[in-house]
Each structure stands twice: as structure tokens, then as C-alpha cells.
Chain A
Amino acid sequence: MTNRLVFLLTSILLIAILAIITWLESSKPKAIALIPALTNQPEYCLTCHNGIEPVSAAHPTEVFGCVRCHGGERLALDKDLAHSTMRGGRNPSDFSVVERSCGGSECHSGAAKDERDHIARVMTSVQATYVGAITNVYFAFGGQPDQKPRYGMITVSGVDPMGKAIKLIEPPKSENQFLQKFLSNCSSCHLNAESINETNYHRLTGCAACHALTNSLGSYTGNDPTVKRSESGHANTHTLTAAISYSQCNACHNRGNYDLKTMTFNARADRPSNRQQDYYQPIAQFTKCEFELDCVDCHTANEVMGDGAIHENKKSIQDVQCQTCHGTLTTPPQTRTIQDVNDVALRRAFLNPKVPLAVGDVTVITAKGEAMWNIRKAADGSYRQIGKINGTIYDVPLVAGSKCKQKPDQQESKYCHECHAVRK
């Protein structure tokens, strides 16, 4: 009898463990498979991230999926394993991994002549290299003999679109205490540096620094159920955009100033509530368009993301001047009629939901010929600008025919500001 009892109890134990296994099996989440057209391999990320936003119209989830950009273990339903091989943590566009995530000749490492070399180009931009600040500070404090660009926060070597060799190396360590302080205190202000982890400073790194919009807390407000809403370090939603509102630029460009005497960053504590009054440069003057429009309404892709050449400072790549849109007393703005269906301006406008552009449209161009595709010359000879973020239409007044008394050789903004600056 005792033998039978032991057998019975053991059998009950076996049934119990089988019940536990059945329960564990049935409590597993239902796996959600996605087979993106580009990889044609099933991935199960959506099992947990069900509800996450598609990245953009140009990156449909059913074509790209998750793994093509993020890496990771596509089949694992265990968080740690699934995430263990992700590129750049949450951010595959960090410059340390961007070539593998966003690169490839079919994607963002295409031919320079088609302006599909986004990654190579942005690596040369002043925002990525910080070359302007480094060059000027190194020159001013005796770290280099002239103002030729030598050092960058990322190393660059290659050839620019004009065929000229370009090279930037890491800034050398210096005995000079100013330069030492500069490198330790002031070298975090470039695209691939982590942002200050405080309200209003949040942004991601790499491409996402600009193209993934962040809110003031750096928190996620999208529909991915796995992301903690209280956590910083996230984009607002899991989306990339070319319609970058001024608030994203402000995360860096309106958050304080460097003090060259002490080589420290003087952060501002407030959040600008009024673009007109809360501009970060106390002495700066500006006109209405500079605080009413979004930055990208006038500043072009080549200015912001680089044109493939090394520029010694911001000024040398800032192609857009007042006269670009407003002309001079004697000349109207330069324009170009979009004729080629492969024109890069059409591609850029296609990504923007607010600005229609078609072959035959006449757009204003910069001195270097880059189309400002949201600024058009109408058939009646007038000029109109369409806001890239909100679609607002503005009339662009011309200098020619106005009462402006500018001198032909005084076209810099400071001369325009003498009359047109808005009182704070």
C-alpha cells in the first residue's frame, strides 16, 4: 500500500509540474510576426512593441521592419537577448553605427552627385565636426597657427565634391589650460554628443539629434506599450521627420552660451516662451522672419547637414542671406525652374507633407544653386514662402522697388538689421 501511495503522490507531482508547464505555455504573449519586404525574414519585435509608430512615410514598417535599422535578435522573445545585438542601443542613427543602420548605396550612403550621400555629408558638417568652434578657439588660444580647419570632434578624411582632399583629426591634448578646459567643458556640443540630461536640453545623437523630435522632458508619448513614459532619453515618438521645427534646433541653439574667459558653458534655466524676447544671444538683433519662421524654412539641407566640404566655421557654409530671398535694389532673388523629375528638390519636398512641389515650379536658389523649394516665384512675379512645418503662406517682400537705401556692398544681415531689427 505504501508503495502505491508513494507512486500516487509522485504522479500527482508530475501532473502538477505538467500543469505549471501548460500554464507557462499559455501565458506566453501571442507572437506577432512581421516579414519586411527588404529583409524577407520574420521578426517578432512587435510582439512586445505592438503599437509603435511607423518611422516615416519613407520607411514603411512593412518594408523596413525593425531589424534592418535597429539590429537585434529578430526571433527572441526574451528582452535581454532580443536587445543584445541592437545597434547604438535605442538609437541606430548614432554616428558610431549609422553606416550599418542607415547606410548602404541604396539608402543613405548613395552617390554624392545625387546628394544621396547623407551620412558622408553630415560627417563633414560643422554641426557634426564642431570644426568652427575648435578652429577659432585653438587659433585664439595658440593651439594652431592659423584659422585653417584641422581638428574635429569626429575624424574626417576623403575628398570633397570639388575633388579637394579633406582631413580632420582629433584635437590634440594641450598644455594650455584654456584649451584643456575647452576640450573638457565645451566639446559636448556637436551632433554625436549626449545632450545634457535636463529639461529643455533633450535630444538624441547622430541623425536623430535633429530628425527625431524630442519634447522638453525627453520623454516618449507614442503608443509603444513597453516604453516608460516617465523616462528621459527618448524621442517624442518613434518617428523621423524632415519637417524639423525650431524647437528641436533650440535644444542646442537656444539653451545657453559658452563663456570663453572661463571656458564654461552657461546654461539657461528658463524655457523660452516667447521667441522674440527669449533669444539666447542677448546682443543679437533679428528681424521678424527670424523668429516667426522655423529655422529650416530658410536654412537649407546643405547648410545644416553639410555640403561634403570642410568649412572653417559656420559663416562659410551659411549660404542663405537676407538677399537670397529678398534680392537687392538692383537684382531679384536668383531662381531656378524645376525641370528634371530627378531634381533633389522634388525628393526633399516629397518628404514634406506641407509643401507641394512639381516640375515647372520656379524656386528661389542660394548663391551655390541649392533650391529653397518652399520659396516660389509666382506667375505674377511675386514671391511666396510656404512654412515647412505648418504650411503657412508668407509673402516675401523684395528690396527692389522698395525704399531701402542699402549700399550694394553692404549685404550682410547686420546692415539689414540696422533698420529691420525688431525691438525686443
Chain B
Amino acid sequence: MSRPSFFHHLHPPTIPKREASFTYNLGLGGLAVFLILVVGITGMLEMFYYVPSIEQANASVQTITYLVPLGWIVRGAHYWSAQALVVVTVLHLLRVALTGAYKDRRFNWLLGLMALGLILFLNFSGYALRWDRDISWALLVGTNLIKTIPFVGTVLYGVVVGGNQINSATPARFYAWHIFGLMLPAFIILVWHLFQVRRDGGIAHIAEARKSRISRDELVGRETFVALLATIALLAVSVLSPPAITPAADFASLPDNPTAPWFFVWVQELLRLGDPFFFGVLIPSIITILVALVPYLIDRSSSGVAVWFNKEGRVAQWIVWVMLLVIIGLTIRGALR
């Protein structure tokens, strides 16, 4: 056997066979890491052309889409890997919740949840950077929600938007948030999250199954295969369904129907119910806090680790299910509107 490569060294020499199987972990964590790599690399390529100004933001996205050689496929891969990342991260969270993999790994659960939050905001800021008609409502409503936060809302709004309303500084501000303000912490948390898995003893597993393990060669092979499939899927979706682009945003004449990006449609549905701070800020925060508290308050047991639907974690599993189903239900309701 040849000496392990850099990529092999990123993995533990062996990992438990049962937990390394696709039927247990569904490949979601690894897929998320791969998607982050894709979104990062394609994002870097887009940075060569994207111009974060009121006049040029939308024009530069159109330039990437229509004029830059292979720009359309780079943009397509960036967009679709970002969308997939939301789904994969949420499913990863669900897998970890349902297999009790959070037990005795409370901090890493928090890190993962933070990563999900950052991914959502990265998606939203990326969506806004398109600066076209379709994003204008979401940007307006989304940023106005910040203003409703008591005491700090106005200051926070200025920090996010770069003024007391959407203005010529806003594209640069969102660009800075996207590339630096959100991306850097997301990267740090991702690395920390991966490190923490190793620190916590590798993938959460059943103690008695320790004897049966697979080598990292096998693991890297599987990861490569999943990455290959994911690449094919991303390219195919990018070819068949390229990301949308509409004419430049004009906040003086907004489109007739307010639209949110699909991952925030549930927030838009909540907003229809009443007070924007209560429904748009407080309820999503409560959902997040409730999920964050799962390993701290709801299931502090150490047994049932790595067991799908383990008895000890029933309440925690139900809470995560209910939160997720509420979000999915609201999303479907919004989609059917």
C-alpha cells in the first residue's frame, strides 16, 4: 500500500464500520463538506467578475451568465450547490437528532446549528447579490425585519444594510457580509465542527461495535464516489435548470407580489400572521433556541448513541420533527399560494 496522501491524512486511520455505512449516516456530513468546497471554489471564480455596486451588481451577474466563458455553468454550480447545502445540512441535523449522535457532543451540536444559520444567511445574502427584481421584495422585507428588534434594531439595520434604508452602499455591504462577514465565520465553524468530531472520538458510534472498522482508504473511496455523483448531479441540474436572473432591482417600483427565497418562505408565511417582530424574528429564534437546547435540556442521556429512533431521545426527536414539519408545512403553504 502506498503512503497515505494529504486527503487520507484528513481522516482517522480507521472508522467504525457500522457508522461508516451509508444506511446509517446517509453520507450527509461528507456531502455537505463537498458542497461547501464547490460553493467556495465557484464563488471565488465569480468574484473575478462580480461588481458590488448599484449600477453594476445585476449587470455583472448577467455578464457572468451570458458573456463570461463557462460563466453560466460556474454560476449554476454555485447556485445549486448553495441550495443543496441547505437541504443537506438540515437532513444532516435530522440524522444526528434521530440517531442520538448529539449525546455527549453538545458543543458540536451547537457548532452545527450555527453552521446551518450561517448557511441560511449566506444563501440569503447571495440571493440578494443578484440584485434583480425578484430579490427586491425579499431584501426589503428581510432587512426591515431587523428594524423591528427592540433596542438594537436600528443600529443592527445600519450595520447590515449600510444606511437607514437600502441605498447605493447596500450591494457592497451585502458583498462584504457574503464573502467576509458570513463566509469567514462559516469556514472557521466548519473546520471546528470537523475537528470537534475527531476530538469527540470520531463519528458517534455504538461502543460494542468498535472492533469492526474500515480503513480510511475505503472511506476516501466512498467519499470520492459520492463527490463524483454529486458533481454529476450539480452539473446536470445546472444545465437543465439554470438559476434565474431578471432585470435590475428598482426599489421605487417593486414587483406586484412579494416573494421570498424558498428557504425563507416559511418566515414569509409566519409574517402573514401578524406582528413582524413576533412572527418574523421571535418565533424563528424560539425554534432555533429550542433545537439548540436539545442536548442541554431535553435529552441529557448518554445511552442510545448511534441508534436510529433511540428510546432515550424520543422527546428530542419529536421536538426536532415538529419544528421541521412546521417549517416544511409553512413552506408548502407558501409554495401553493
Query: Which A residues contact B (CB, under 8 angstroms)?
Result: 3, 6-7, 10-11, 13-14, 17-18, 20-21, 24-25, 31, 44, 73-78, 81, 84-85
Interfacial chain A residues near B245, Cβ < 8 Å: 76, 81
Q: Is A6 touching B225 in the complex (CB atoms < 8 A)?
A: yes
Q: Is A21 touching B62 in the complex (CB atoms < 8 A)?
A: no
Known: A17-B235, A17-B236. 20 other contacts (CB 8 A): A6-B225, A7-B225, A10-B229, A10-B232, A13-B232, A14-B228, A20-B239, A21-B235, A25-B70, A31-B66, A44-B66, A73-B62, A74-B59, A75-B59, A75-B62, A75-B63, A75-B66, A76-B62, A76-B65, A81-B246
How far, in angstroms, from A74 to B66 measured CA to CA in the complex? 11
Closest to B60 in A: A75
How far, in angstroms, from A81 to B63 measured CA to CA in the complex? 13
How far, in angstroms, from A13 to B59 measured CA to CA in the complex? 34
Using an 8 Å CB-CB cutoff, how does the interface string of B38-71 with A read, 1 for contact, 0 for none? 0000000000000000000001001101110110
Interfacial chain A residues near B229, Cβ < 8 Å: 10
Interfacial chain B residues near A73, Cβ < 8 Å: 62, 247
Interfacial chain A residues near B69, Cβ < 8 Å: 25
Q: Is B228 touching A10 in the complex (CB atoms < 8 A)?
A: yes
Q: Is B66 touching A21 in the complex (CB atoms < 8 A)?
A: no
Contact sample, A vs B, 19 pairs, CB 8 Å cutoff: A3-B221, A7-B225, A7-B228, A10-B225, A10-B232, A13-B232, A14-B232, A17-B232, A21-B70, A21-B73, A24-B239, A25-B70, A44-B67, A73-B247, A75-B59, A75-B67, A76-B66, A78-B66, A81-B245
Q: Is B66 touching A77 in the complex (CB atoms < 8 A)?
A: yes
How far, in angstroms, from A75 to B245 measured CA to CA in the complex? 12
B25 close to A (CB within 8 Å): no
Interfacial chain B residues near A31, Cβ < 8 Å: 66-67
How far, in angstroms, from A280 to B205 measured CA to CA in the complex? 96
Shortest CB distance A146–B (Å): 42
Interfacial chain A residues near B73, Cβ < 8 Å: 21, 25
Interfacial chain A residues near B62, Cβ < 8 Å: 73, 75-76, 81
Q: Is B239 touching A11 in the complex (CB atoms < 8 A)?
A: no
How far, in angstroms, from A3 to B224 measured CA to CA in the complex? 12
Contact residues on B (Cβ < 8 Å of other chain), bracket: 20 to 34
Interfacial chain B residues near A74, Cβ < 8 Å: 59
B310 close to A (CB within 8 Å): no
Shortest CB distance B243–A (Å): 12
Using an 8 Å CB-CB cutoff, how does the interface string of B68-82 with A read, 1 for contact, 0 for none? 011001000000000
Shortest CB distance A161–B (Å): 34
How far, in angstroms, from A21 to B238 measured CA to CA in the complex? 10
B231 close to A (CB within 8 Å): yes
Interfacial chain A residues near B232, Cβ < 8 Å: 10, 13-14, 17
Q: Is B239 touching A77 in the complex (CB atoms < 8 A)?
A: no
How far, in angstroms, from A73 to B250 measured CA to CA in the complex? 14
- Would A85 and B239 be within 8 Å (CB), given that A10-B229, A31-B67 are in contact? no
CB contact between B247 and one of A7, A11, A85 (< 8 Å): that residue: A85
Interfacial chain B residues near A3, Cβ < 8 Å: 221
Interfacial chain A residues near B67, Cβ < 8 Å: 31, 44, 75, 77
3 smallest beta-carbon distances between A and B, as pairs:
A77-B66, A75-B62, A85-B247
Interface residues of B in 201-249 (CB under 8 A from A): 221, 225, 228-229, 231-232, 235-236, 239, 245-247
How far, in angstroms, from A3 to B222 measured CA to CA in the complex? 10
Shortest CB distance A47–B (Å): 9
Closest to B233 in A: A17
Closest to A24 in B: B239
Residue from A7, A74, A75 having most chain B Cβ neighbours under 10 A: A75
Shortest CB distance A244–B (Å): 35
Q: Is A14 touching B247 in the complex (CB atoms < 8 A)?
A: no
Closest to B59 in A: A75
Interfacial chain A residues near B235, Cβ < 8 Å: 14, 17-18, 21
Interfacial chain B residues near A85, Cβ < 8 Å: 247
Shortest CB distance A376–B (Å): 51
- Would A17 and B246 be within 8 Å (CB), given that A7-B225, A76-B66, A77-B67 are in contact? no
CB contact between B239 and one of A10, A17, A44, A78 (< 8 Å): that residue: A17
- Would A81 and B247 be within 8 Å (CB), given that A21-B235, A44-B67, A75-B67 are in contact? yes
Interfacial chain B residues near A81, Cβ < 8 Å: 62, 245-247
Interfacial chain A residues near B236, Cβ < 8 Å: 17
Shortest CB distance A402–B (Å): 65
How far, in angstroms, from A405 to B73 measured CA to CA in the complex? 85
How far, in angstroms, from A81 to B67 measured CA to CA in the complex? 14
How far, in angstroms, from A6 to B245 measured CA to CA in the complex? 37
Interfacial chain B residues near A77, Cβ < 8 Å: 66-67
Shortest CB distance A39–B (Å): 12
Closest to A18 in B: B235
Residue from A13, A18, A21, A78 having most chain B Cβ neighbours under 10 A: A21
Shortest CB distance B54–A (Å): 14
Shortest CB distance B252–A (Å): 14
Shortest CB distance A75–B (Å): 4
Q: Is A11 touching B246 in the complex (CB atoms < 8 A)?
A: no
Interfacial chain B residues near A10, Cβ < 8 Å: 225, 228-229, 232
Using an 8 Å CB-CB cutoff, how does the interface string of B284-298 with A read, 1 for contact, 0 for none? 000000000000000
How far, in angstroms, from A77 to B242 measured CA to CA in the complex? 14
Interfacial chain A residues near B59, Cβ < 8 Å: 74-75
How far, in angstroms, from A17 to B238 measured CA to CA in the complex? 11
Closest to B61 in A: A75
Shortest CB distance B164–A (Å): 29
Closest to A73 in B: B247
Q: Is B247 touching A84 in the complex (CB atoms < 8 A)?
A: yes
How far, in angstroms, from A75 to B228 measured CA to CA in the complex? 34
How far, in angstroms, from A36 to B327 measured CA to CA in the complex? 51
Using an 8 Å CB-CB cutoff, how does the interface string of B241-270 with A read, 1 for contact, 0 for none? 000011100000000000000000000000
- Would A21 and B228 be within 8 Å (CB), given that A31-B67, A81-B246, A84-B247 are in contact? no
Shortest CB distance B17–A (Å): 16
Shortest CB distance A338–B (Å): 45
Interfacial chain A residues near B66, Cβ < 8 Å: 31, 44, 75-78
Interfacial chain A residues near B65, Cβ < 8 Å: 76
Interfacial chain B residues near A78, Cβ < 8 Å: 66
Shortest CB distance B25–A (Å): 19
How far, in angstroms, from A203 to B115 measured CA to CA in the complex? 62
